[in-house]
Structure 1
Amino acid sequence: MIKKLFPLLIIALLASSCNSQLDEINKNPNATETPQAPYLLTSALKQGADLYWGSESNFNSSLLFVQHWAKIQYAEPDRYDVSNSSFTSLWNTGYSTLITDLNTILNSQDNQVNSNYKGIALTLRSWVFLLLTDAYGSIPYQEAGLKITPAYNTQKEVYTGLLADLTQAQSLLATANGSVSGDVVYSGNISKWKKLVNSLRLRIALRISDKEPDLAKQAAIAATGDAAGLLAGNSDTFQFVYASSPQQNPASAWFDTRDDYRISKTMVDKLYELSDPRLPVYAQLPSDPSVGKYVGGANGLSNSDANSQGFAKTSKPGTYFLAPQSPAVIFSYSEVLFARAEAVARGYISGDAEQLYKSAITASLNQFGITDATVIANYLSQPGVKYDATNFAKSIGIQKWIAFFGQGLDAFAEWRRLDYPVLTAGPATVLDGQIPSRFFYPGTEQSLNGVSYKAAISAQGKDLLTTKLWFDAK
């Protein structure tokens, strides 16, 4: 009997030893078993700012589409000669990094984080989803982070869901609910986060205004009537302030080693036309002193024609945008005032649309360091700047386009929605005279989430740059 049991005992001991060793071997000594909310929050704010102001989502795509910037070499993106691998960072970083980390905060036990962390996380997640749907259209929303192959929601469903999410975020935020660490934007000021929530609700209300005016009006009333208020001054602007290298502004890092962008001729010409005092902020004088004036680069040129404009004879974007510490503005006070003006013009809320419009322009001028009252008054009194109540979309659209300089993704969304200013595709563009209306879905969606991808494009339209999105389909 002993002889029979002995081999079994040896095997049992070996198995036990092996399992113990495997448990230890399979532990990642560098992994964080319980991610801490403050660190996740800091990371989300930094990576979100990098994504919003970075090359792929901003100055190599959306800033070119709205003709804020232009390319002076390697001009393919400025001609819309791009593929379904051209816009992957917004999708990949948005889902795999930002939404994943923010969901980790939201799914934390209540004894690990207070509700303010969850309210901030839900606010930031809503902002990320908003960027995604504005750029691509239908996106994984309700099943995002829950399934390996999530279904897509229509853009209408996403916007409606985000309004509900932001209402929930507002209910989670209260100064009495505990302090917040890791907030490198508002330093744990919950009152400012609550203002941002309402401002995002107002932004979404206007996104849906041409398609769902009743819901838009309801959302606008709720956002502007909430006791927490909206962003109420430039000190409330939601922005990430960068530091020195290697934590500098993405545009600054790009221009440290490359020189392939200029401010767009479209923008320079408009600023000259309006004698706009923001021109010296938005642009640099060409390095060739004989030029003596600001010269924008034309959009949509061939490589040779773009190069022939002359590196020394054209204007780079202003140093305000290229300095290492330049802030990544994500939601400005100026935008809130423009939104309020439009909400009044549409009859959603009460107020003086013209005065709010003037205040919005003033806030933008102040944001860029222009504070002289006489300069501001002279600018506002120009015929080309005065508010036109018979065509509020034109007045607000043009001035909002100027104020959004550098914020490519939102400038692109608002230009598509308001249809102003009227832009013309460059002579060498490849879309038969059209300007893009959306981003391509990443190619990986076809191979890794093919069923959901096919269902989405079947409902929304072909996966083309020129397919109009729901909010833009007038």
Structure 2
Amino acid sequence: MKKYILILSLLILASCSQVGDLQDDPNRATQVSPDLLLTNIETSAFNNVSLNAALASRQLTYTDGTDSYQYYNWQRAGFDNYDILKQVQKMIQESKRTETEVYQILAKFFNAYFTVELTRVFGDVPFTEAVQAEDGLYMPVYDSQESIYKSVLDSLKTASLELAQNDEAIRGDIIYNGDKTKWRKLINSYSLRVLMSLSKKTNNSNLEVVTRFNEIVNNPTQYPIFESNTDNAALVYVDIQDNRYPLFNSNSLQTAYYMEQSFVERLQNLEDPRLFAFADKKPNASAAAVTDFTAYGGLYGSAPLSDNGAKAVSGEASRIKPRYYNDPINEPSLLMGYPELQFTLAEAAARGWITTATDSYYKTGIAASMNFYGITDTADYLANPKVQLQNPADIATILAQKHIALFLNTGWQIFYDQRRTGFPEFNVDGGGILNNGLIPKRFMYPQNETVNNPENLNDAITRQFPEGDNINGVMWLIN
């Protein structure tokens, strides 16, 4: 398998010396094949294992200090995704140079994906004027979230339709090995994720959220979507330097992280065997069977650090399963998986967007998640009365199962789902919480924007957040 992490010096030119300003350097790369760029872009997009997201989403806890993600006191995030968008733009340029249109089509997906990642972190962000420094545009305006989402949805639709008509080979593809049908499934499944993120905007005639959702779901030939775990948008790791599971040999994961109590208790209450795939037994239960649910425990995410530290020292908390830090391959990282799609469809049914029974999608999602973790006997669990939906509109139970399915994977997706729906509930009552007991709604804009692009930044803040740029501001997406 081709290395995932390529040497970026092939892509980004170093500063020119005086001599270099006067003549061409025959050893300096000025062009690069678009397939090499694709490989690097895929690695960035699909590598979604995040300890910070797991802390914020009440799946893990941290004991070597008061972690800002766990205690909801984070501040600013960065615009690093624009560096990747520059590579996407470069791939478009090289695709045009080499007359290989397929990379321009895939670029539509990646532009959409990285832009969505940016806007759901901050709110309004530069979009139409972004990544245009080569053209002398150094201070881009901030586009509204509404206009960004409209453009993204249109672009994703176009990408899926164009890919169906394209007959060029995709090289450099470490995700689907050039399989265009699987790429179309990802693009359309991801479109459903984006549409569900707009659940508060169903009355917006400019977006036509429900109509677009049904257009995809009701036309599987034209808009194929994931059909099983074999379609997962997965980055598979290999035991080669720079290609291993990102938490492999992480000392802090072995020593400072524990399972979160409310997450463990949910799995115990449901008698969910995925607990055994996620967690190690607590030290005080070392003699118990691995399948003994009482042998597991956790630390309360919002409890004071001192309380959690004392409980950990007493041996009453489970660490994460050792495979997460001692297996160089472990499990794939997902940009999006089949279980997530099924829970998205279940939520759509619960909201009345589509007519298929909610329970069908819901249980398919659970079974697919269990299969992902190597659990093939799912019948008893699916028949468990505690697992059943309370009614066809039971979004809370759907999101609780989605929370389990996305354990330490798919980046911040489950946090954004909770921000949008309020489910599952993330505890803030433990006495150690910061931010006045509030779960943040966003990250503040990067500090360097206040220096490099202050006028456009201030315009964006003023029109969105009357209280100023703070982590509790409610962006258009969730308003």
Instruction: Report the TM-score, using the length of structure 2 for normalisation.
Output: 0.85
Question: Residue 151 of structure 1 aligns to which amino acid in structure 2?
Answer: V
Question: Residue 457 of structure 2 aligns to which amino acid in structure 1?
Answer: Y
Residue 166 (structure 2) pairs with residue 171 (structure 1):
no
5 Å matches for 1:180-191? Answer: 180-191=170-181
Structure 1 CA distance, aligned partners of 2:66 and 2:395? Answer: 31
- In 2, are the aligned partners of 1:206 and 1:339 still within 8 Å (CA)? yes
Cα deviation digits, residues 227-276 of structure 1 (max 9, x gap): 24101110000011112244222222534786322221121011001111
Structure 2 CA distance, aligned partners of 1:338 and 1:280? Answer: 22
* Change over 3 Å in CA distance of 1:111–1:174 after alignment to 2: farther
CA apart distance, 1:288: 5.3
Number of residue equivalences: 439
Structure 1 CA distance, aligned partners of 2:405 and 2:88? Answer: 30
Question: Residue 475 of structure 2 aligns to which amino acid in structure 1?
Answer: L
Counterpart of 1:13? none
- In 2, are the aligned partners of 1:149 and 1:449 still within 8 Å (CA)? yes
CA apart distance, 1:164: 0.9
Structure 1 CA distance, aligned partners of 2:42 and 2:270? Answer: 36
- Secondary structure of the residue aligned to 2:426 is coil
Counterpart of 1:266? 262
Match among 347, 353, 377 for residue 352 of structure 2: 347
Between 346-355 and 357-366, the greater mean CA deviation after superposition: 346-355
Report the structure, 1 or 2, having the larger helix content. Answer: 1
Counterpart of 1:22? 19
- Secondary structure of the residue aligned to 2:319 is coil
Counterpart of 1:437? 441
Match among 62, 67, 71 for residue 79 of structure 1: 71
Match among 75, 82, 87 for residue 95 of structure 1: 82
Counterpart of 1:205? 195
Counterpart of 1:8? none
CA apart distance, 1:355: 1.0
- In 1, are the aligned partners of 2:75 and 2:443 still within 8 Å (CA)? no
Residue 158 (structure 2) pairs with residue 162 (structure 1):
no
CA apart distance, 1:420: 0.9
Counterpart of 1:329? 334
5 Å matches for 1:36-115? Answer: 36-50=33-47, 52-53=48-49, 58-60=50-52, 62-77=53-68, 78-84=70-76, 87-88=77-78, 91-92=79-80, 94-96=81-83, 98-108=84-94, 110=96, 112-115=98-101
CA apart distance, 1:406: 1.2
Cα deviation digits, residues 24-74 of structure 1 (max 9, x gap): 666566642012211111111112334x32xxxx312x2222101111212
Counterpart of 1:298? 300
* Change over 3 Å in CA distance of 1:174–1:406 after alignment to 2: same
* Change over 3 Å in CA distance of 1:184–1:71 after alignment to 2: same
* Change over 3 Å in CA distance of 1:151–1:26 after alignment to 2: farther
- Secondary structure of the residue aligned to 1:210 is helix
- In 2, are the aligned partners of 1:460 and 1:469 still within 8 Å (CA)? yes
5 Å matches for 1:170-249? Answer: 170-174=160-164, 176-213=166-203, 215-224=208-217, 225-226=219-220, 227-244=222-239, 245-249=241-245
Counterpart of 2:385? 383
Counterpart of 1:6? none
* Change over 3 Å in CA distance of 1:177–1:413 after alignment to 2: same
Between 396-405 and 109-118, the greater mean CA deviation after superposition: 109-118
Match among 421, 424, 427 for residue 427 of structure 2: 424
Q: Which runs of 5+ in 1 are unaligned?
A: 1-19
Counterpart of 1:403? 405
Between 114-123 and 74-83, the greater mean CA deviation after superposition: 74-83
Match among 461, 468, 473 for residue 467 of structure 1: 473
Structure 2 CA distance, aligned partners of 1:29 and 1:314? Answer: 60
Between 203-212 and 380-389, the greater mean CA deviation after superposition: 380-389
* Change over 3 Å in CA distance of 1:143–1:187 after alignment to 2: same
Structure 1 CA distance, aligned partners of 2:214 and 2:249? Answer: 42
CA apart distance, 1:100: 0.8
- In 2, are the aligned partners of 1:44 and 1:101 still within 8 Å (CA)? yes
Structure 2 CA distance, aligned partners of 1:72 and 1:365? Answer: 29
Question: Residue 418 of structure 2 aligns to which amino acid in structure 1?
Answer: W
CA apart distance, 1:318: 2.5
Counterpart of 1:3? none
- Secondary structure of the residue aligned to 1:76 is coil
- Secondary structure of the residue aligned to 2:459 is helix
Counterpart of 2:10? none
- In 2, are the aligned partners of 1:300 and 1:427 still within 8 Å (CA)? yes
Q: Which runs of 5+ in 2 are unaligned?
A: 1-16, 289-294
CA apart distance, 1:441: 1.8
Question: Residue 263 of structure 2 aligns to which amino acid in structure 1?
Answer: M
Question: Residue 192 of structure 1 aligns to which amino acid in structure 2?
Answer: K
Cα deviation digits, residues 58-111 of structure 1 (max 9, x gap): 312x22221011112122322233332xx33xx21x111x21111112233545
Aligned-residue CA RMSD (Å): 2.4
Instruction: Report the TM-score, using the length of structure 1 for normalisation.
Output: 0.86
Residue 366 (structure 2) pairs with residue 361 (structure 1):
yes
* Change over 3 Å in CA distance of 1:455–1:212 after alignment to 2: farther
Match among 31, 53, 61 for residue 34 of structure 1: 31
